[in-house]
Chains A and B, each alone.
Chain A
Amino acid sequence: MIEGLKNHIFLIVDQENKGLLDYTYSASVANAVIKGIYNSSVMLIPIAYFDKSVIENYGNNFRNNYKLVRKDTTVYTNSKNMTSEGNVCEITKDIASNKMFDLHPLLVSESWIKKRKLTAFRVSKLKILETTCDRYLTRFKTFTGDSFFQQYIGKQLDITDVDTNEFAPAIIEWADINGMSPKASYYDLKMKYDSAGISVVRANAIWNKYSNMINAVKDKQEFEKLDIISRVEIEFRFGEKQ
C-alpha cells in the first residue's frame, strides 16, 4: 500500500568487465534478460547518480560504452574487491564525493558490442511483453491498497461459511458500508478475488513462457519469424493449450 515512488534504474552489468550492457526501469525485465545473457547481473542504482544524457538512448547508441564504478568505502576491511550478485561493479576511489555510483568510459571489443546489442534487443522486446501483461492486468487495479486488501480478504473469505451464514468480520464490514447483505458481500468479494488471482497467475505464466522464448532469440529476423507479440495477444485473448 502506498509504496511510494523511488527513482531507481536497473542496470544490466557484465560480470566480466563491469560494462553496462543496457538498462531498464523494470526489475522484472532486468531479471528476465539476465537469464539469457551469460555472466550478467542486475544492479539497482538511484537514477540521480547519472547524467540523464548518458543513459538516454544507451540502448541505441553503441559508440559510447561505460562500466559501472562504485566508490571505495572500506575503512578497515579488505573486502572491497569482492564481486557478488547485487554488487557487480568496479571499486574505485576515482569518483565524485557526492556519489556512491557512477559510469566511467570503457574500451570494448567487437564481440562485447555484439553482446550489448543482443541485450538491448531483448530488453526492448521484454518491455513490449511486460506492457502487454500490464495492459491485461490493469483492470484488476481498483484500489490504492489492493496489495494488502487482496491477501487479507482472501483469508476472510476462507473462514466464511456461506452455507451456514457464518461470515468473517471483514465480509460484514464490506456489506455494512456498501449497503448489501453479508451473503451478497461474500459473493461480490469472492468473485473479484478469484478473478484477479486467476488472471495474475495466468499473466505470470504467459510472462514466464514468452520471456524464455525471447531469451532464446538471437536477432530481429528470428523474432519476427516466431511472431511472438501476436502470439502473446492470442494467448491472452483466446488461449492455446499446448
Chain B
Amino acid sequence: MKSTKRRLARMQSAGVLLCAAALMATSGDPLPRLRAQTAQTAPATAPMPNLSGVWDGTGRAHPINSETIPWARTMAVGRTLPDGTKADANYVSNFPVLNERGLAFQKIFDEPLSPKYDCQPATPPAIEFDPYYMEVVQWPDRVLLRYEKDDQLRTVWLDGREPKVSDYGIQGLSVGRYDGNALIVTTTHFVFDITGFDDYNGIPSSPQKKVTERYWRDGEQLKATVTVEDLMFLRQPASYTMRWLPAAAGYKLKPFDCDPETARMSVQFIPAKYK
C-alpha cells in the first residue's frame, strides 16, 4: 500500500515536470508572454538591434534647439552639429525649402498662436530634438518611444498593419521595421499642426506630412536621421541627423505635467503683431 502511494506520488511529480516541459517547449520560454505582445505579432526574421534604454537628449548630447538648430542655413566652422560632430567648411544647409504656401504661412505666423503655450506637445520632426530624456522599449510587435518632455508616448507598430483613417492624431500613426542594425520608422496620419515642422520658424505641417526616422547604435551613442516630407509646404524633403547619449545608470523618466498657466505666461511679453 505504502509502495503504491510512493509510486503515485512519483508519477504525479513526473507529470508535473512533463507538463512544465511541454509548456516551455510550446511557448519558447518559461515566462508567459503578455497578451498585448502576442496579438498580431509578425514572425521575427532577423535579430533585432538593441536600441533599448533611457537616452539623454539634453544639451550634453547636442546643441539646444533654436531658430538655427537643428535646421540651419549656414553653420560656422567648428560649431557642434546635432549629431555631435563639428561643422567643417563643406557644411551643406539642411534648412527646409518652402513652397509659396509655406512661405506665406511663415510670413503671417504669430508667435502667440503656437499651441505649445497651451501645453500641446511637439510632434515629429521636432519632438526628437527637444532637450530632454527619451526611452526606447522594444517588444516583439512594437517599439515604444517615451519622451520625458510633455509625457509623450509614440508606438511604432512592427506587425505590418496599415494606417486607417481613424488613426489621424497629433503624433500620427507610426509603423516600422528592422533593417540590419537599424530601426526604420515611418509616421503618417498627422493632423494639421500650425507649428508641426518645428517650434521656432513658424512652419506648419499638414496631414500629408510624412516623417521617416532611422535609428541605430554608434558605439555608446544612439543616432537617428529624421527626414520630413510635406508636399503642402515643402518643395523637397528636409533632414537632420542627431544623437543621444546613454542616461546615467538608474535614471528614470520624470513626469512632466505641463502647467498651462506657466506655459502661456511669457506670451504677455511678446509685442502684438495683430490687434
Do chains A and B interact in one complex?
Answer: no
Please give the residue numbers on chain A whose beta carbons come within 8 Å of chain B beta carbons, in ascending order. Answer: none
Please give the residue numbers on chain B whose beta carbons come within 8 Å of chain A beta carbons, in ascending order. Answer: none
